[in-house]
């Protein structure tokens, strides 16, 4: 039975419907009418809360970044006081988040929605991404200043590598099955990268 737009939390019901549709069809593969139908309301009711599909996806992304930020902060804290352990933990948390929250992940990183679309989205996205930069900064502090790359650059490398592992090997896309678990790919790749910077001994 349709609940109608007077039910308790229509806004969240629409976000939940959008997340399921994003996971099933991608961020551009559904309409607001489909989202409203899945939430059990009329299409007109959607516009009481969202200006259009992009606004709905942006809210899904904002909520995803909230969850992501909490997970990343927890992972960072769990690795302390070791800067290396903290950085590695944030990488593992990235993979875990992508697996557990695929709809949020796509809304955040694959929908084309800018994190600067709204102040709230920018704030929480920067909080989440800032954890990786903080972990990178801690680790770079262990290098001599003369050969210390910018922490922002290192965090960008870590993000790119983590995202690549997720996209190619952790999402179950046809033809991309790896003979190694995604966690092993990420850990070994980070090890090679950090050895190149001189942060891990070659024989470690």
Q: Is-contact 5 41, C-beta < 8 A?
A: yes
Output the pTM of the full model: 0.87
* Contact yes or no for 80/139 (Cβ under 8 A): no
Domain boundaries, the chain: 1-50, 57-197
Residue 73's H or E segment, with its range, is helix 53-79
- DSSP line for 81-116: T-HHHHHHHHHHHHHHHHHH-HHHHHHHHTS---TT
CATH 1.10.357.10 fits 57-197, yes or no: yes
Chain-wide mean pLDDT for the chain?
88
Which CATH entry fits the domain spanning 1-50: 1.20.50, 2.20.25, 1.10.357, 1.10.10? 1.10.10
Res. 175: pLDDT tops 70 = no
Confidence at residue 202, expressed as pLDDT on a 0 to 100 scale: 66
Cα separation, 63 vs 75, in Å, equals: 19
Q: What is the pLDDT of residues 54-89, one digit of tens each?
A: 999 999 999 999 999 999 999 999 999 999 999 989
């Amino acid at each position: 039975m349709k609940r109608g737009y007077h039910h308790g939390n229509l806004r969240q019901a629409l976000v939940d419907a959008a997340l399921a549709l994003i996971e099933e069809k991608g961020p551009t593969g559904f309409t607001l009418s489909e989202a409203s139908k899945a939430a059990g309301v009329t299409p007109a009711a959607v516009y009481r809360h969202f200006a259009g599909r992009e606004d709905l996806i942006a809210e899904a992304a904002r909520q995803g970044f909230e969850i992501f930020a909490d997970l990343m902060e927890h992972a960072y804290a769990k690795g302390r006081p070791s800067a290396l352990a903290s950085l590695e933990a944030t990488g593992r948390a990235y993979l875990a988040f992508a697996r557990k929250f695929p709809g949020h992940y796509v809304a955040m990183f694959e929908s084309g929605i800018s994190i600067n679309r709204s102040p709230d989205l920018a704030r929480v996205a920067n909080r989440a991404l800032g954890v990786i930069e903080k972990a990178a900064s801690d680790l770079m502090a262990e290098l001599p200043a003369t050969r210390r790359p910018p922490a922002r650059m290192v965090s960008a490398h870590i993000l790119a590598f983590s995202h690549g592992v997720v996209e190619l090997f952790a999402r179950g896309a046809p033809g991309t099955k790896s003979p190694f678990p995604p966690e092993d790919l990420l850990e070994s790749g980070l090890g090679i990268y950090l050895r190149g910077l001189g942060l891990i001994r070659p024989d470690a």
